[in-house]
Amino acid sequence: MDLPRLIVIVLYVLGLVLPVLGSVRAYLHAKDTLEGHAADILEYDRLEREHDTKREAIEDWNDAPDVRAARLATLDAEYSAAFERLGIEAPTWGNLSTVGERAVLKALRLIGRGNVGNALLVGVGLLCGTVASIWALFLPPA
């Protein structure tokens, strides 16, 4: 077997293996990301319940209005910081109208993070397959 045919065969194999490898890696990355995000949702729910419980307790105390307002402001700041550590903005009445858009942006960030290498594997594999197909047209019959 001559060298050009061997190179075409190797390119065909790479054209199959690299896209499959990139796709499998992207699937595994997505699975890991979703599992991590599921844990974030549980933490989000816990924070919501904890915040509501503490807020109700502060509102039930017989403090002066300015003391109560200061305690509520401190609680809200802690709440926002906890959400920021999760990588999301704390829900408020002010940002309620953009919840969907922010969820889409977070999903796109999660998809994009860590998948550039997988996309490159797929792209290089497709390029190898294309080059092999075009080159094979010009090889003399065996």
Total of domains in the chain: 1
- Looking at residue 142, what is its pLDDT? 73
What digits encode the pLDDT tens for the residues 2-57?
A: 999 999 999 999 999 999 999 999 999 888 888 877 887 888 888 888 888 888 88
Interatomic CA distance for residues 123 and 47, integer angstroms:
42
- Looking at residue 25, what is its pLDDT? 93
Residue 142 lies in a domain: no
Residue 43 lies in a domain: yes
Residue 65 lies in a domain: yes
- Looking at residue 60, what is its pLDDT? 80
DSSP string, 72-116: HHHHHHHHHHHHHHHTSPPP-STTGGGHHHHHHHHHHHHHHTT-H
Residue 75 lies in a domain: yes
What digits encode the pLDDT tens for the residues 90-128?
A: 777 777 777 778 777 877 787 778 888 999 999 999 999
Check pLDDT > 80 for residue 87.
no
Whether the full predicted model's pTM is greater than 0.95, yes or no, is no
Residue 93 lies in a domain: yes
Interatomic CA distance for residues 83 and 75, integer angstroms:
12
Residue 91 lies in a domain: yes
Under 8 Å between Cβ of 2 and 126: no
What is the residue range of 50's domain?
3-137
- Looking at residue 131, what is its pLDDT? 95
